Chain A
Amino acid sequence: MRMTRTRAHRANAGILAIGSLAIGMTIVLFAAELHARDAEPALIPGVDEAYQSAIARVAEAKDRAALADAIDRVVALDRGDKSKLVAQLFHYRTMSESTAATQAVVGHVFKRLEDDKPSVVAALVPYLDDESSQWRQYARSLLRGYEDGSAVRLPDYSNYHAILEVDFRAGREPRASLVKFMYEGDPGVALLTLMRASQMRDPAELKPILWAEHVVADLLWRRQFGFVKADAVEQSVVSELDKLSRHKAWWARLYVAEMIRVHPELGTQAMRERLAGDANDVVRAVVTKS
């Protein structure tokens, strides 16, 4: 049972930051603050009995009206602090004995929060770095759900855009776990989202990224629909990836690393060697594991 999750060595700056931003922040700023705790990591709330009691009453609702009412009472506790609510829901899910029923209880509350998706996403993102693999998995699964991607829809990364943008504007690196998570979902959408969030303004900077993504996406599209063989390689694609693998931004180089992890035939030995020696840990890790 996880009663407290205080990380003393991380506490000071994070607590001060949270405290200074707790009241009157916009959703975007709230997300930014959550992210700031990545660099100076978070104090994860311990178990709050008031929340746990309210959540438990959701499981006791005798009809749908009572269910809705019980969920409303849980949500009302957060007073806009979705991070605390998310933490309490994760605590409840982890501590419960009955997997299926508690999964449903937690699911009902998250469903009720769908109208507040940006703030819920912002509250979930820090858990991508959680020390508990179970909590990381909860966060990953919920975030994928909010992306709402399907075979006919690209994932919606707009909620990540807001989070990333705050870091870029503040001159911080974006949260690595989020960037990696985005690339694992859809490298093309991730690259373009990061490009826009990064505050690039000069078309001369934007166009090479746009073009590289377009050239690669075009080949993948033609592969997907049988216009070329499923393992077709075109020099223009390799060339664009090679150029992007030298990009100054690590998140752009990560696109190449992820792409040649999934499609090794699009990479060259020189590309791999370059990325294997990349200054960024995430880039290096993706390449060396592929």
Chain B
Amino acid sequence: MDRMITTRFRLWAVPLLLTACAMQANRADGDDPVPHGGPCDACDANCDTLHDFADVAPFADLLLLGGIGCAPCAGDLNADTAVDGRDIQLFVDCITTPPPPIEGACCTAAPCAVTTQAACSGLWLGAGTMCQAGVCPTGNLTAYRPQRGSGYFPMSKTPVGDADEANDVTGPGIRINAPGDADAQGEDDLIEVLVSASPANLPVALRRETAALRVWTSRDKQPGTELIFTNDKTAALPLSGGAMTVWVEWAMAVHGFASLSLEPVDANLTLDTIRFHTFHGIVLSLGGESQVPSVPVDFNHGTFVVGIALYNRGYDVLMYDEDDVSADGSGAVYNAAVDAITHRGVDRVAIFGYSHGGGSTYDLAERLDVNRAGIGIFEILVTSYVDAVENDSDFDLDQELRRPPSTGWHANHYQVGSLTDIFLDGGPVPNSNPAPTGLNVETTPWGAGSTHYQVDDFVQVRSYIEANFVERISP
């Protein structure tokens, strides 16, 4: 009999409670289950950590049938050790009244804001945290300009500035490193990237835009040093003291652009992004007799000063002693150019040189032009002479007056030899710039009285070459 009464009572008690809860819920405008925590939650009658309508039936059972709920305190909202009528209103209030939102600092690309975890699209720092200076984690990716051989010589290790690091032209260039690349000086096509994050113990990961980017912890791709990407994101990076160096490879044979980002492992927050572009071009810089590339650069070696300026602007610049080009154009420079064209997709070439380096510019351009059928498709877009002298031997004094074969645009600066330079000089070259045959700098106010040894060092000459190369060939 008691059981029948209880059952009938439950039949109406549960809907009644549900109705009461629903009415109160509407008034409270609360529509989400309320998560709850704590050692024993009387309101969470079914122990699912939520305060919602699913708690009504278990509460009704405790109210009508007694017994022990899923937790010792279940249903005993007034904590008087009994579940009875005095708990009903408190239960209804609990179910229908949303607790105050749990908020904390939310770090996104925008300024930090205090919000709930659910509303935070970035990194939520936890309940009760506030937006204060330095509270959000920071991270940085610093890419460097391309390597050469076992390091950077004859360039200095040069970081890409923050203002350029995502720029498709001036940002970090990267050589295609598909199989077959000769790498005469050893693997040097990976780009060094310094990763840093703060706080130092923040677990961070790299995210890549495309699988063309592979990332290594060794500069020469030692076995076992590749970072594994899953869905284009790595696991937590093994930073030491909040920093580490990685080496980025463009491992596909096709050109492209791709970003690499740093973010916390467990949050959608980009701490920093760098954007790579593959090199289409190569710039070959040839010094004069007895001029060899050095670090730091000798500022009397204007050709190398220009080479470094172009390198800093994002070009893949190779600087050489002009004797690395033999009179028939063969040698290390030619091999480097052919390797770039045949294995790295380079299709734009720039060559410039001073004195015998000008003569070598001609010899190199001629050989590249003659051997096109065996090399592939490329253009010699720009060339430049400064007081060019033929380079059939170290003692050759003949003016280099021939325009480099097949060049798209040629600059020429020269002076007229005198006692001071033992009558060593270049001369006018047909179809050169400034038109029509280049510039005799001695006809300018700044270059009057120049000698062979000075002509490559005028800022006007260097700037002319740099500006016109930048205008006519992209990296």
Q: A residues within 8 Å of B by Cβ?
A: 58-64, 67, 99-101, 103-108, 110-111, 137-138, 141-153, 155, 223-226, 230
Name B396's closest neighbour in chain A (CB-CB): A145
A68–B21 CA distance with the chains assembled, in angstroms: 114
Chain B residues within 8 Å of A106, by CB: 395
Chain A residues within 8 Å of B396, by CB: 107, 145
- For this complex, 11 residue pairs linking A to B, each with C-beta atoms less than 8 Å apart, are A58-B422, A61-B423, A64-B423, A137-B394, A141-B393, A146-B393, A147-B327, A150-B327, A153-B328, A155-B328, A226-B375
Chain B residues within 8 Å of A151, by CB: 328-330, 363, 366-367, 369-371
Known pairs A151-B329, A151-B363, A152-B366; A100 contacts B374 (CB<8 A) = no
A105–B393 CA distance with the chains assembled, in angstroms: 14
A225–B375 CA distance with the chains assembled, in angstroms: 8
Chain B residues within 8 Å of A138, by CB: 394-395
Is there contact, CB below 8 Å, between B422 and A149?
Answer: no
Residues of B within 8 Å of A, CB-based: how many?
31
Contact among A60, A67, A144, A150 with B393 in the assembled complex (CB-CB below 8 Å): A144
Known pairs A100-B289, A103-B289; A148 contacts B392 (CB<8 A) = yes
Main SS class of interface, A:
helix
Q: B residues within 8 Å of A by Cβ?
A: 289-290, 326-330, 342, 363, 366-367, 369-371, 373-375, 392-398, 419, 421-424, 452-453
Name B389's closest neighbour in chain A (CB-CB): A107
Chain A residues within 8 Å of B422, by CB: 58-59, 67, 101, 104-105, 108
Is there contact, CB below 8 Å, between B453 and A144?
Answer: no
Given contacts A143-B393, A145-B396, 4 further A-B contacts (CB under 8 A): A100-B290, A100-B452, A111-B395, A230-B342
Name A150's closest neighbour in chain B (CB-CB): B328
Is there contact, CB below 8 Å, between A141 and B395?
Answer: yes
Is there contact, CB below 8 Å, between A144 and B326?
Answer: yes
Is there contact, CB below 8 Å, between A225 and B329?
Answer: no
Contact among A61, A100, A145 with B453 in the assembled complex (CB-CB below 8 Å): A100
Chain A residues within 8 Å of B289, by CB: 100, 103
Considering residues B326, B373, B394, which has the most beta carbons from chain A within 10 angstroms of its beta carbon?
Answer: B394
Is there contact, CB below 8 Å, between B374 and A225?
Answer: yes
Minimum CB–CB distance from B24 to chain A (whole Å) comes to 83
Chain A residues within 8 Å of B363, by CB: 150-151
A65–B393 CA distance with the chains assembled, in angstroms: 25
Chain A residues within 8 Å of B290, by CB: 99-100, 103
Q: Which 3 A-B pairs have the closest CB atoms?
A: A145-B393, A104-B422, A151-B367
Is there contact, CB below 8 Å, between B370 and A152?
Answer: yes
Known pairs A108-B422, A144-B327; A103 contacts B395 (CB<8 A) = yes
Minimum CB–CB distance from B201 to chain A (whole Å) comes to 52
Chain B residues within 8 Å of A110, by CB: 395
A63–B396 CA distance with the chains assembled, in angstroms: 20
Minimum CB–CB distance from B347 to chain A (whole Å) comes to 16
A144–B326 CA distance with the chains assembled, in angstroms: 9
Considering residues B327, B342, B397, which has the most beta carbons from chain A within 10 angstroms of its beta carbon?
Answer: B327
Is there contact, CB below 8 Å, between B373 and A104?
Answer: no
Chain B residues within 8 Å of A62, by CB: 419
A59–B374 CA distance with the chains assembled, in angstroms: 46
Name A223's closest neighbour in chain B (CB-CB): B374
A64–B375 CA distance with the chains assembled, in angstroms: 44
Is there contact, CB below 8 Å, between A101 and B421?
Answer: yes
A225–B421 CA distance with the chains assembled, in angstroms: 42
A108–B417 CA distance with the chains assembled, in angstroms: 12
Name B356's closest neighbour in chain A (CB-CB): A103
Known pairs A111-B397, A225-B373; A145 contacts B392 (CB<8 A) = yes
A62–B392 CA distance with the chains assembled, in angstroms: 27
Is there contact, CB below 8 Å, between B395 and A144?
Answer: no
A63–B393 CA distance with the chains assembled, in angstroms: 24
Is there contact, CB below 8 Å, between A104 and B371?
Answer: no
Minimum CB–CB distance from A275 to chain B (whole Å) comes to 24
A67–B393 CA distance with the chains assembled, in angstroms: 21
Considering residues B290, B371, B398, B422, which has the most beta carbons from chain A within 10 angstroms of its beta carbon?
Answer: B422
Chain B residues within 8 Å of A141, by CB: 393-395
Name A89's closest neighbour in chain B (CB-CB): B395
A236–B281 CA distance with the chains assembled, in angstroms: 39
A145–B398 CA distance with the chains assembled, in angstroms: 11
Known pairs A100-B453, A151-B329; A226 contacts B374 (CB<8 A) = yes
A142–B392 CA distance with the chains assembled, in angstroms: 8
Chain A residues within 8 Å of B369, by CB: 151
A111–B423 CA distance with the chains assembled, in angstroms: 13
A62–B370 CA distance with the chains assembled, in angstroms: 42
Is there contact, CB below 8 Å, between B370 and A104?
Answer: no
Name A149's closest neighbour in chain B (CB-CB): B328
Is there contact, CB below 8 Å, between A150 and B366?
Answer: yes
Name B368's closest neighbour in chain A (CB-CB): A151
Name B364's closest neighbour in chain A (CB-CB): A151
A7–B229 CA distance with the chains assembled, in angstroms: 70
Is there contact, CB below 8 Å, between B395 and A145?
Answer: yes
Chain B residues within 8 Å of A145, by CB: 327, 392-393, 395-396
Chain A residues within 8 Å of B397, by CB: 104, 107-108, 111
Minimum CB–CB distance from B349 to chain A (whole Å) comes to 15
Minimum CB–CB distance from A117 to chain B (whole Å) comes to 12
Minimum CB–CB distance from A121 to chain B (whole Å) comes to 12
Minimum CB–CB distance from A262 to chain B (whole Å) comes to 11
Minimum CB–CB distance from A192 to chain B (whole Å) comes to 17
Known pairs A141-B395, A150-B366, A230-B374; A104 contacts B424 (CB<8 A) = yes
A225–B374 CA distance with the chains assembled, in angstroms: 4
Chain A residues within 8 Å of B367, by CB: 151
Considering residues B366, B398, B423, which has the most beta carbons from chain A within 10 angstroms of its beta carbon?
Answer: B423
A104–B451 CA distance with the chains assembled, in angstroms: 13
Minimum CB–CB distance from A184 to chain B (whole Å) comes to 10
Known pairs A107-B397, A141-B394, A225-B373; A149 contacts B327 (CB<8 A) = yes
Minimum CB–CB distance from A107 to chain B (whole Å) comes to 4
A61–B392 CA distance with the chains assembled, in angstroms: 25
Chain A residues within 8 Å of B328, by CB: 149-151, 153, 155
